[in-house]
Structure 1
Amino acid sequence: MAVITLAACDGANGADTHPKQGRVVPAQYTRGTAAPTSLDEQDRNALEMAERACANRDFQQLFTAIAISPAVRRKYSAPTITSAVLDPQGRVISSRDVPANSYEDFPVRQVDFYYKPAKPRSPGDEDEYLDIQFNQSQSDDFSVDWARVHYDGQSEGGDDLGNIIGPEGKPLPPGTHPDSDGQLLFRPIGNCWQLQEDIRWLR
């Protein structure tokens, strides 16, 4: 499995200043599956958000819509998603192709204004969030690196959750980010992007 590196752009919590793990080259995209015809209001609103994001070439807005709605995820996924587990050096431990209509492992959800894990590491942990970093290549591919984090609550008010707590239990310096737990790879197709690969690192 080949490896690429994508240039960093501003993420959900600021520009990414940490070096990234290995990048897996995504395969060629084809058209994704259609969204179901019976949708609730949240799905309809998210689909409209995704359409606006595509029209405006706004990947981060598209990603937010994908995190909100399974219907958006299905529509903006390749027919088959590669799900891989890599070791810390980027070597492939396992890899399998999952039909988009059977893919249920998307790791990110949005709650209010925050990205949170679809499944917390400890069941019921409502204080676990995700640090999200967006990276764009010259060919307009996007990788989304995500890491499980907790915050210290020492904020200045508003939507600020404070500082990210590092692996040693101390706040990380401002502008730094923890190593990724996983990476989602998107590639442009038509006037938008599709999810192609879901990569996790075994630590």
Structure 2
Amino acid sequence: MVLAATLATACGSQTRETAADANPAPPQVPDAATKANTAGTDGAQDRPRRTLTESDRLRLEMAEGACRSKDFGGFFRAFSGSWAVRERYTASEVAFGEVGKANKLTRRRYLDRNHYPLATIDYFYVTAETAMLFDANGGDSDVLRYVMIEINEASDGRARVDWLPGIFEKDLTPPPTEVGDGLGELVQETGSGGHLLFRPTTECWELVDDIANPPLEI
């Protein structure tokens, strides 16, 4: 079990990660890597493609390295940090929705609607929604909602990531000195979170479930 409530370990370069990398605006320009991974699905040949940035290329390399070394934590970080990695490592169908109410979506539909709930900012996991606000507000970190993740890997190679957004000691004013560069303890849950399930493939992992927990009772 790996609990990432504190500073996440970086893999590779320390390039700043933003929501523009992880959850970009609707696609505009073709790129070869995306085309190779969308052909034959939901009319992919007729769809405009996204531009592959240097940040995306870096995260693709990170993912490939993590796949080779069987490092799911490193793979998950790259997966959460770039749409291009998700293009390559998402299953042909994804179960999406609330617990007990999930529906199967085609890979293309799931990706096009930017359903993936997480993003990365520097070394932290945040909700994709607040990461977009972060970019739109010129990098105002006050809008970010940080996320605690817990990774469990099964003996058959499957990996489940439970995630929970909240207010952490890092968010307090001022934060406790012992927090340092980490998040510190979870102070208050701000959402119900959910889980992501990845199954092993011959070369790596692929996302098969994106399931939200029932809403918090107020």
TM exceeding 0.5: yes
**Does the CA contact (< 8 Å) of 1:183 and 1:199 recur in 2?**
yes
**Does the CA contact (< 8 Å) of 1:131 and 1:148 recur in 2?**
yes
2:151 corresponds to: 134
Number of residue pairs matched? 160
Deviates more, 1:77-86 or 1:55-64: 77-86
1:12 aligns with 2:12: no
CA root-mean-square deviation: 2.5
Task: Return the letter of the residue paired with 1:110.
Answer: T
Q: Per the alignment, do residues 187 and 155 of structure 1 end up closer, same or farther by CA in structure 2, a change over 3 Å counting?
A: farther
Task: Return the letter of the residue paired with 1:108.
Answer: L
The separation in 1 between residues aligned to 2:183 and 2:78, in whole angstroms, is 22
TM (norm. structure 2) is: 0.66
Corresponding residue SS for 2:212: strand
Gaps (5+ residues) in structure 2?
A: 7-35, 39-48, 135-141, 170-174
**Does the CA contact (< 8 Å) of 2:5 and 2:147 recur in 1?**
no
**Does the CA contact (< 8 Å) of 1:117 and 1:129 recur in 2?**
yes
Q: Per the alignment, do residues 37 and 150 of structure 1 end up closer, same or farther by CA in structure 2, a change over 3 Å counting?
A: closer
The separation in 2 between residues aligned to 1:81 and 1:156, in whole angstroms, is 40
Task: Select 1:98's aligned residue among 105, 108, 111.
Answer: 105
Larger helix share, 1 or 2: 2
Deviates more, 1:151-160 or 1:192-201: 151-160
Percent of counterpart pairs with the same letter? 32
How far has the Cα of 1:163 moved from its partner? 2.2
How far has the Cα of 1:113 moved from its partner? 0.7
2:53 corresponds to: 40
The separation in 1 between residues aligned to 2:76 and 2:144, in whole angstroms, is 22
Larger strand share, 1 or 2: 1
Deviations 1:126-159 (A, max 9, x none): 2420000001112111000000111122242541
Task: Select 2:195's aligned residue among 160, 164, 183.
Answer: 183
TM (norm. structure 1) is: 0.71
